[in-house]
Amino acid sequence: MSSVEEYRTKCTFCSVQDDIILKRKSTEAAFFGKDSLFKLYYDEKSDRGLCPRGNFTLELLHSPYRLRNAELFGESCTVEKAIEGSVSELKRIIEKENNIAILISGNHTLEEAYLARELSEALNTNLLGLFPFEDEALLSVKNNFSFKDLNEGDLVLTVGDVFSLSPTLAKPILDARNKKRGNRLVSLDVIKSRVSLFAEHFNVKMGYMSYFLSVLLNYLEGKIRLKPDEIVAGISSTRIKDLAEILVNAENGQILFSNIYGHFTNPFSIVGRLSRISEITENRFAVIPIGQNSLGVGRIIGDFNNKKIMDALKEKKIEGLIILGGNPFEFIPGFEEIFDYLNFVMSTDFFKGSNESECIIPSAFSFEKRGTLISLEEKIVNLGESISPVGEAVSDGDFISSLLLKLKGSRAKAKVSIPKVLPFSDSSDNKKPSSLTNKKFPFAVVGIGLPFHHHRGEITRKVKWNEDKKEPYVYINPATVEKFSLKDKVKIETPNGSFVFTVENCGDLPFNIPENIIAVPIHFPQSMKLFVADSDSDGIISPGFEKARIVK
């Protein structure tokens, strides 16, 4: 055996699924140090490298915050004991149909998603949903995307901040733009972003992206004419015509959509319209989910159930909840109240939180398990080699199999079918949005992502590199700070909630924040409270901007 063990796997964080290599040097000496025995490498065949989040992988291996044992009603125990102790609770709850819901994260393998579907059948429920909730809006798209074509395309149009949400995509996108004179990078967003620094930027009025795209689509389809002095959602008719021309003239163009909580209103409609625009302008279209395998997991679940689940939780219509791969206190808005009335909550998670479910199972990261994923290129890819999980941690696949065995008395036989892209249902109409800022709430808060934090920050807030910024913060234009004599802490209030945030230096961001906008990095649960927790008119739980005021 070689003196170096090598594990080739995928980055655990996002749907770009960059390759990582973990190498462990064999040693005969006892090892007592704090440093990991492992070293992290990226595959040199991929010239994208790894983003800051990818580099945190090594720390996750031996993080002191990892859950190493199961817990049942606050007592530490083995996974087996925790499952045994939960079965009687579950059996009582499932006597009634649809009395329990399961939420599974997009960071699971296809095999685990099939098992989750089998678990939902065994638990007598069809309430099986996907988180991050934003990714549900993307399940009606079959990606038309390849990394090779992205490198060589003459046009990349991004909608959303692709560079912050999926940082290693910046390299092929900028390579494509710089490859030949005339190649273009265009960004369409409601606020400037890391992409817009390098792009021809179209700043669409906040909350109007879906409406703007409906106008662009109607123009492209020849259904409307644009008057010379017309302004649509902040964009002049001349620029809309330019954009239409750019799209029509591209020979090898790619449209990309990325979303995050608090950013785009009606993301499902946006996706539907972008999909149609790509068809008629003959460009490729792809969505970039937050979850590593949300496209795979969501299609196996095979339905849009998040609204039904959230409604059932709010209306107190169910007694039990199972969360696979996360802490519900972190990602379900207002979960403290929901938790109080639920009879039994079981979750699998990586870290110990301050609030916890009745039963917690320590879970394995993707580099600690095997299985398959659907890639952005719509290929089924293998996770590769896995290293042993820490402590008692188990993959959710193993956990579900053990739970099914205890519930049914027989081994799991997950029924496998081809994961289906969900059909587009009627999306919202083309009316101009009306909920804008007003005298009472003169500012707009918008959710933004940062390259060194993944999504709600459940994982990335735990790494040492991010430890200095523990409190939720916002970015406010320095002129606004001066005008209102704001101190270093401000209370931001919206119709949905309020919180006291630290005012962060805008110089940390490479783009300007307009004076009437408050940019909220959404990697804190407190930031989520500013946004409406309900589903939108398309039935998707992924709010856009919110009106706000600053309370001194």
Task: Enumerate binding residues for ligand SF4 (CB under 6 A).
Answer: 11, 13-14, 16-18, 50-51, 53-54, 166-168
Q: Is the peptide bond before 433 cis (omega within 30 degrees of 0)?
A: no
Min dist CB 523 to ligand SF4, Å, is 13
The widest CA-to-CA distance across the chain, in whole angstroms, is 78
Q: Which is nearer to ligand SF4, 345 or 374 (CB)?
A: 374
Min dist CB 56 to ligand SF4, Å, is 9
Q: Which is nearer to ligand SF4, 168 or 327 (CB)?
A: 168
Residue 93 contacts by C-beta under 8 Å, 6 or more apart in sequence? Answer: 99, 100, 319, 320, 343, 344
Helices 396-408 and 110-122 pack at an angle, to 10 degrees, of: 20
Name the residue number minimizing CB distance to ligand SF4: 54
Min dist CB 361 to ligand SF4, Å, is 25
Q: CA separation (Å) from 467 to 318, 331, 473, 507?
A: 37, 20, 14, 20
CB 361 within 8 A of CB 325: no
Q: How far apart are CA 146 and CA 125, in angstroms?
A: 38
Min dist CB 18 to ligand SF4, Å, is 3
Min dist CB 457 to ligand SF4, Å, is 13
Min dist CB 68 to ligand SF4, Å, is 24
Q: Which is nearer to ligand SF4, 16 or 310 (CB)?
A: 16
CB 368 within 8 A of CB 22: no
Q: Which is nearer to ligand SF4, 42 or 499 (CB)?
A: 42
Q: Which is nearer to ligand SF4, 167 or 389 (CB)?
A: 167
Which residue in the block uniquely carries the two structure tokens 């409601």? 190
Q: How far apart are CA 214 and CA 209, in angstroms?
A: 9
Q: Which is nearer to ligand SF4, 16 or 492 (CB)?
A: 16
DSSP string, 413-426: -PPP----PPPP-P
Q: Which is nearer to ligand SF4, 18 or 538 (CB)?
A: 18
Min dist CB 391 to ligand SF4, Å, is 24
Min dist CB 496 to ligand SF4, Å, is 29
Strands 359-362 and 70-72: antiparallel
User: In terms of Cα–Cα distance, which of 150, 94, 104 is closest to 125?
Assistant: 94
Q: Which is nearer to ligand SF4, 14 or 90 (CB)?
A: 14
